[in-house]
Amino acid sequence: MSQLLADNLDCQVHGFTRPVEALKAIPNLNPGVIVTDYFMPQLNGIEFVRQATLLAPEASFVMITGHNLSEEESQLATLGSLKGFLSKPFGWRKLADEILRVWPGGSHAPSYRADDPTI
C-alpha cells in the first residue's frame, strides 16, 4: 500500500516493516502523518505512537487494525497525537483520504497527483 500512496500523493512516503526501524528513522524524516498498525512485532501501536510522538511531536498519527480494540479504548484516548483510526479492510484511497484529513495545519498538506486520470 505504501507504493500506491507514493504513486498517488504528492509527498514522500516511507514504508517500514518493523516499528523499531521506523523509530530509528523518524528523526531524519520530518513526517507530517505517521500511519501505524496496532499489532506489530516488538511494540504495539499504542507504545509505538507514544515513542514516535517524542521523536516527531508535530506529526499526526493514524492507527489501523483488523481487530476489536475495545479493551484498549482508554489507552487510545490518552494519545493526543492520534488523529485517525481505520479498521481493516480498506483500500489505498480511504487511507490517503484519512492522511489528508489529519495532516497537521502548520505544514504543507499534500494532495492527489493531478497527472493520474483515475483520481
- Nearest Cα to 9, choosing from 87, 74, 93? 93
Fold of 2-102: Rossmann fold (3.40.50)
How distant, in Å, are the alpha carbons of 33, 49, 72, 87, 99 from that of 67? Answer: 22, 18, 11, 8, 21
Higher-confidence residue of 6 and 114: namely: 6
Looking at residue 118, its pLDDT comes to: 57
Please give the grid coordinates belonging to residue 97. 483520504
Q: Identify whether the C-beta of residue 95 lies closer than 8 Å to the C-beta of residue 5.
A: yes
Confidence band, pLDDT 50/70/90 cuts, at residue 51 = very high
Q: Residue ranges per domain, the chain?
A: 2-102
Reported as a single tens digit per residue, the pLDDT across 56-70 is: 999 999 999 998 888
